[in-house]
Chain A
């Protein structure tokens, strides 16, 4: 997925001279996760810009670059460190177009690695997407595979709306099925691991049905897409699994059709539960599909604690927890 993200930058830096990237360590070094490797050498240090360690400054300056007609792609090294820039996102970036009645806008993309499963403890494991989906005026994306990562990032860079683009770092190098005892696998054998060269897009308002099924619908995104697939298999159920991809705006139609068909719904994410993004999914499904539901909608999420270092696999919604959740949901008569 790293190569896919790098390729999306490469394609857009090549196609559009107004695209610039900025962030800590992204230039000469190519990024701590290598997502911009080689791009400064190719496009120069005025287009792939190393930035001071000041997330609020990076986002504030990116807004100014965007107001001056550029298309900035800002990297925040870890989502856990995005908060100094939160005021710039909430009070400025998201509302420039609205407050100026369309006279000003800034098409900033903020890319940031998120999520756990890498022994990152509470400062390198957070999933703060629900904080951003609550803001009017920004779109929020979380990717789950290399093909989507490239296509969605190109769409995001081309979009005239500000976009928070979450990249689950656990799946940078390969899918993760939620069993930490298994050896890591690469993207090579995954159907969405192959990434076409050159330009293509994935739409910013469409969920994807990852697999069709009849017994229940699992609505999820990011790393948990892969955990859900493995869990459904282990539980021996025919699950329809939906990767939401663009959390805001939400593709309600795809959710509605699926849950109306299966009658059972589980929502799963890594982030904490209380007021998490899953709560919006549950409320939406409840409203849209109430008369088709055969069981209460269930949620499998991270616990409502900070992300712990030692208890990583007790905190993370691992395969076993999803299997339990699926079985309980199927037991409701």
Chain B
């Protein structure tokens, strides 16, 4: 007797009105996963992709072989950067709601991904971020004012008015231009890393996608090329459980962890607690050291939770329980690092409160300056003729003619 054909449609464990249920998340205790040497053979360390690398335990104490033993200054710096990212996001989210900018995307709840990983790289390493990696731009000193001017498309906009908010770039600091097309940056990072190896230069590349985007062809192209050429690259999957309204099961996440996607290619994967800054840093540092020593690529899955909406155009209360984030077993990355610092005797609740106030004020000051350079609706405006520049290295005749025509129509040419 055979079973009836039946099409499986993945379903999240809880929808609005139901109790959050994270029983599907496979958690290892802090300190439980072994840390192999960086030259371990890929076939011998497949367990890294299936467990969960964690350093901070439930009492906020660092445990086990992945403890990176970061000093107080580094830990405080990481906390400051995460609090700054959250303050920046909070302000920009509200500015969108007030109609000052057209769109925004918060990294709420996943700040440790950009900050923890960012700390593990060298300045010369090239980052190919996704759209929720604003923390990388913040920590590499892009400047809040510059980032705000981008979101405002004002006269100081780094993109000269050509991009929606949040699509930053910073060539000087080795931060690539963000794309709205998902996962396209993944093969770029692999190509960049191949180029570094061809030139014999020591720097590595890194890129990020979300759990949903692992379904894109570019994700798989990138893994194949990275593995085939043993490229010095770190490919990261920020698994924040939700791709707009579809939970990570729609990208196959409830079949096997995303970190295991490279195992068939002989590429190591590490599944890491993405809300544990120490674990995020340690895993990334391990992969970076491996890549720098001809060890090739690593795929890192950062298990976290998207605390906010997908974007300002989204309303998550329509598809997931309102209290899901507060039930997330890996907690809040900012709170966990703060608690750890408190536990070490390096920090206090008072210092945390004053840090949050300080960052709020910093962001406020930056906003005041940014809007002084204009907004989409208030001068000073960008010169409209910029629309025709940078399509090519030099402007071809047909674009020059179109620019003249537009300027004539606007009465700016006779």
Contact = CB atoms under 8 A, between A and B. Distances in A.
A100 B150 CA distance: 11
Interface string A85-108: 001100110001111111111000
A297 interface: no
Nearest to A139: B392
Interface string B216-233: 011001101100100000
Given A46-B198, A68-B196, A84-B217, A102 B390 contact: yes
A64 B177 contact: no
B14 to A, nearest CB: 34
B171 A100 contact: yes
Interface size class for chain A? Answer: 35 or more
A92 B159 contact: no
A56 B198 CA distance: 21
Contact of B193 (A64, A70, A92, A252): A64
B196 to A, nearest CB: 6
B392 A57 contact: no
A161 interface: yes
Interface stretch (B90-98, B178-186, B272-280): B178-186
Residue among B181, B187, B225 facing the most chain A CB atoms (10 A cut-off) = B187
B194 A61 contact: yes
A84 B187 CA distance: 13
Nearest to B197: A46
B159 A56 contact: no
Interface size class for chain B? Answer: 35 or more
A64 B192 contact: yes
Contact of B221 (A46, A56, A139, A252): A56
Nearest to B172: A103
B269 to A, nearest CB: 19
Contacts of A64: 128, 187-195, 205
A205 B396 contact: yes
A225 B392 CA distance: 28
A100 B188 contact: no
A60 B390 contact: no
B159 A101 contact: yes
Contacts of A88: 184, 187, 218
Given A61-B187, A64-B189, A99-B167, A249 B181 contact: no
A56 B217 contact: yes
Given A56-B221, A61-B191, A99 B396 contact: no
Contacts of A65: 191-192, 194-195, 198
Nearest to A90: B181
A57 B390 contact: no
Nearest to B397: A249
Contacts of A68: 126, 191-192, 195-196, 199
A99 B177 contact: yes
B410 interface: no
B16 to A, nearest CB: 34
A103 B198 contact: no
Nearest to A55: B221
B176 interface: yes
Contacts of A105: 393
Nearest to A94: B391
A203 interface: no
Interface in B138-162: 158-160, 162
B171 A60 contact: no
B169 interface: yes
Contact of B392 (A47, A61, A97, A104): A97
B224 A57 contact: yes
A52 interface: yes
Interface in A31-71: 46-47, 51-52, 54, 56-57, 60-70
Residue among B179, B392, B393, B397 facing the most chain A CB atoms (10 A cut-off) = B392
A107 to B, nearest CB: 9
Given A57-B187, A64-B188, A96 B225 contact: no
Interface string A206-248: 0000000000000000000000000000000000000000000
A161 B391 CA distance: 9
Given A60-B184, A65-B192, 20 more contacts: A47-B198, A52-B228, A56-B187, A57-B218, A57-B221, A60-B222, A61-B187, A61-B188, A61-B191, A68-B192, A92-B181, A97-B391, A98-B390, A99-B167, A99-B179, A100-B171, A103-B170, A103-B171, A137-B392, A205-B396
Interface of A: 20, 46-47, 51-52, 54, 56-57, 60-70, 72, 84, 87-88, 91-92, 96-105, 136-137, 139, 159-161, 205, 249-250, 252
24 contacts: A54-B221, A57-B222, A57-B225, A60-B186, A60-B191, A61-B187, A61-B225, A62-B191, A63-B191, A64-B193, A65-B191, A65-B194, A65-B195, A66-B191, A67-B188, A68-B199, A87-B181, A99-B159, A99-B167, A101-B390, A102-B390, A103-B170, A104-B169, A252-B397
